[in-house]
Chains A and B, each alone.
Chain A
Amino acid sequence: MGSLDFARGREVGRSLGRLEAAAKVDGTVEYIHNLRLPGMLHGRIHRSSIPHGRIVRIDTSAALAVAGVHAVVTADDVARLVPDPYYGPAFHDQPILATGKVRHVGEPVAVVLADNPHAAEEAADLVAVEYEPLEAVFDEVAAAAPDAPVLHDELRPAGMFTDLKHLAGRRDTNVALDARLRSGDVEQAFAEAEHVFEHTFRTGKVMHAAFEPMVTVAEPHAAGGLTIHTASQSPSFVRSEISRLLGWPENRVRVRTAFLGGGFGAKLYIKLEAMAAVCALLARRPVRIALSMDEQFYTITKHGATVRIKTGVARDGRMTARQVETFWNGGAYADIGPRVTQKSGFSAAGPYDIEHVALDNYAVYTNEPPAGALRGFGISQLVWAYERQADVIARTLGIDPLEFRRRNALRNGRPHATGTVVVGMEVDAVLDRLAEAMAWDKPFDRGTGTIRRGRGIGIGVKACVSPTTSTAAVHIYGDGSCAVHCSTVDMGQGSDTTMAQIAAEVLGIPTTDVRVVHPDTDVTPYDMATLGSRSTFHMGNAVRRAAEDARAQIERMAPGATSFRDAMLARFAMQAGTVVGFGSYAPSYQKPDPETGLSANITPFWMLGGAGAEVEVDTETGRITVTKLVNVADVGRAINPASVERQLTGAAIMQLGFTLFEEMVFSDGQVLNASLADYKIPGFLDVPRELTGTFVEAPHPEGPFGAKGVGETGIFSPSPAIANALYDATGVMLYDMPLTPERVLRAIREAGGRPLEQA
């Protein structure tokens, strides 16, 4: 090696394979799923069988009689350790175990601790709970009405988000948050508009179905601390929330993760961690709680939503006014729903330059399982509405759908509806790439007979959640080798490799020489969480700064050294010592005005995703076959192009499932299809013949090497693209997802004047 060479351009921008690929193909990679500790007990949850009711009595005697059972933990036991057992990122509303009442089917009521999982499972079924049922409400619009049965006596904002403080003590309502945005004068603009379009769109509840079901192992220490091994996307949050619940300083709680078998937003905040921690402290033994796939359906879902959208359009096809009222079905506990409501809600004007905008968003409690974050944080529900309506407007006015979007595009330098001037968002480039990938200007075969073909597009936007903080450390060890310490969780998105590439680029070494240390709150510094496509931008900046700091220290302490190894020897007089570079990143931000929702600085970056679809519709069966699906993202700059492309094609297929068939079916709050046997996710045979993930690059001024996040971008637009293609093929207009053959066939028959009988 010659002199230290920090020349740029060798690591960032390369399609490197992931660092852990070898361990993932030979089966040795670490998941918390695999962890077993000496003396460990297995916890199994007994869950509520009713959607809403008071707990009259819990009889644990039969469960305790099962051989191998160590204890049955209920809310009374929890209260001995945690007098106020309510947790949550936005509201302190979710009890560690049901306390006094249950609010959804599947709510944890008791945990059986046993020597082995078989005994725990058998005994959990033998816990007998007597309930006094209460009236339940499931629909988000009905639950928001003044006469609806109320789930929570009063609202208890968590305090982490200061803009929720005013809700404290609010009573007799299921509306956890009403978030509004007012820009211009929509009423006046509607009165002056040439055309006004008004629709209501709905999306049902779907589930993440991460293949490694949630799992937590809590390990108490004799000295009075606790280690929590957990498949979590937010180890830093778990530490602070567990500490708060226990009344301990954060330095007594250690939270560590491994690789996650998928996350998609399901494994955020507190899921099993509080329950496992309390059980372990009560039992004074390690406790493992691992869900089965079916239990995940009762743990966290995506929000179902009802979106009422009204848009005014001028004679020339420009949208002048938009009013959107959205009811978000948050289920029984708020989880991060109020953030979904506000942070996604304000994007309902889409990537369009609309002068007059009024948005109202309601986070609503219902007696269904809690809803939280699922890849896109509410964006796809809104894009479903505004991009379906965009095609109705375009076709009604005789404007090509692509041209309609170009005509209304929100361009850099123009204010978004929030008042924030847009920077680094390339609507035209994304639409151009989409047009090219779809061969939009070429003739299109529309099919014959009972097979009709159509094509459609959509484009959606998200503002990255703000403000959040990431911190990172880059260590140079005594032998000159390097490790990145950061709390970003690699759940399959490839963040380890991306962070290593960024550090390697700065340090002038090969990416494969960088080790990424997995989140461990005793070791890795704070990160808000791995969510919302924020890691590449926020943690990427922190890692870049940490690497720059380490590099500067090396240059100062050993000028002229020809390698890190030599530099350490020169400084420490032997092959020893450590250099620690530190970096943190938190974007600037301006809180929205509480009355108008306006802010001059609402987000550090805009995520933009377009999609195009070609479909074949069988008009006799209602079955849609997607033959081509294209995702186009504006990514700033791709740190690892292959990784970006995989995020886009993977997201396309996940959203294809949500669009065509995935839907949790409820009956009185009970999920009728809570298993992969009944809840169909996309398989090999559902993949379109042509599947393309592609991106445009225009380096973002504040992103690390120009990069923006991309994990969610591919989720935004496939649904309206597919539904618009159905509309193009058949002329039928569907308002509700998913587009099941039954819904499609009913709509086709209705349009043809031969409606099917109701089932």
Chain B
Amino acid sequence: MQVSMTVNGRVRKADVEPRLLLVHFLREHLLLTGAHVGCDTSQCGACTVIVDGRSAKACTMFAVQADGSTITTVEGLAANGQLHPVQEGFWDQHGLQCGYCTPGMIMSAVNLLQDTPHPTDRQIREGISGNFCRCTGYQHIVNAVRQAAGRR
């Protein structure tokens, strides 16, 4: 099937199988490998991207469902060589270890801060509780998002 979507500001068209998941479309067809596949069952959130302004786990959608959508992946966050404040927060606050969950975590946090620019710690924890991390113990991720919110 033909799909067309705007990914990180570029219109991308392709002929895909109906069973192709969005995350595989991004990774295999567009070579945007920042969205990772972790659990396959929509728990871990490592594949999170933003679809039409809302965070979405890209393993829960077919590529054809995203036809006509506007998508931002972690590769599309930085602008003019300048990291997004959430990316800076994860870097400065040591909000990552192995880094595998990080792109998804960042995209969820970006979405949270769009809705709630000045979240409390509780709101941060709840807002990105759909993303899991096995390494960090989460505290530094909360600190990272808090830093990003402070800068906004």
Binding site for B on A (CB under 8 A): 17-18, 20-22, 24-29, 31, 33-34, 36, 118, 208-213, 259-264, 292-294, 491-494, 642-643, 646, 649-654, 675-677, 681-685, 687, 691, 693
Contacts and interface: CB of A to CB of B under 8 A. Distances in A.
A294 B39 CA distance: 8
Given A20-B99, A492-B135, A649-B136, A25 B94 contact: no
B98 A492 contact: yes
B136 A650 contact: yes
A259 B96 CA distance: 13
B98 A260 contact: yes
A500 to B, nearest CB: 16
Interface string B119-152: 0000011101101111111111110000000000
Nearest to B40: A292
A101 to B, nearest CB: 29
Chain B: interface residue count, which band?
35 or more
A710 to B, nearest CB: 13
B55 interface: no
Given A653-B138, A685-B125, A691-B139, A492 B97 contact: yes
Contacts of B132: 211, 676, 681, 683
B23 to A, nearest CB: 12
A17 B91 contact: yes
Given A646-B140, A677-B41, 12 more contacts: A25-B102, A26-B78, A27-B74, A36-B28, A211-B36, A211-B132, A293-B44, A649-B139, A684-B124, A684-B126, A684-B129, A691-B137
A264 B134 CA distance: 10
5 contacts: A27-B35, A33-B36, A34-B33, A492-B97, A681-B132
B129 A212 contact: no
A630 to B, nearest CB: 12
A7 to B, nearest CB: 27
Instruction: State the majority secondary structure of interface residues on B.
Output: loop
A675 B44 CA distance: 11
B134 A262 contact: yes
B117 interface: no
B43 A261 contact: no
A423 to B, nearest CB: 31
Interface of B: 17, 19, 27-28, 32-44, 46, 73-75, 77-78, 83, 87-88, 90-92, 94, 96-103, 106, 124-126, 128-129, 131-142
Contacts of A261: 36, 38, 98-100
Contact of B101 (A17, A118, A211): A211
Contact of B73 (A27, A262, A492, A651): A27
A492 B17 CA distance: 35
Given A677-B41, A684-B138, A687-B138, A27 B98 contact: no
B90 A259 contact: no
A642 B137 CA distance: 14
Contacts of A493: 97
A293 B135 contact: no
Contacts of B124: 684
Nearest to A262: B98
A45 to B, nearest CB: 15
Instruction: State the majority secondary structure of interface residues on A.
Output: loop
Contacts of A687: 125, 137-139
Contacts of A682: 138
Contacts of B140: 646, 649
Contacts of A649: 136-137, 139-140
Contacts of B129: 683-685
B129 to A, nearest CB: 4
B112 to A, nearest CB: 11
Nearest to A629: B137
Most buried by B among A25, A34, A493, A693: A25
Contacts of B125: 684-685, 687
A212 B37 CA distance: 7
A199 to B, nearest CB: 30
A24 B99 contact: yes
A294 B34 CA distance: 22
Nearest to B75: A27
Most buried by A among B19, B87, B124: B87
Nearest to A692: B139
Given A27-B75, A685-B126, A687-B138, A494 B97 contact: yes
The 8 closest A-B pairs by CB, nearest first: A27-B34, A492-B98, A261-B100, A24-B99, A492-B97, A27-B74, A653-B137, A649-B137
Given A25-B96, A261-B98, A677-B43, A646 B137 contact: yes
Contacts of A650: 97, 135-137
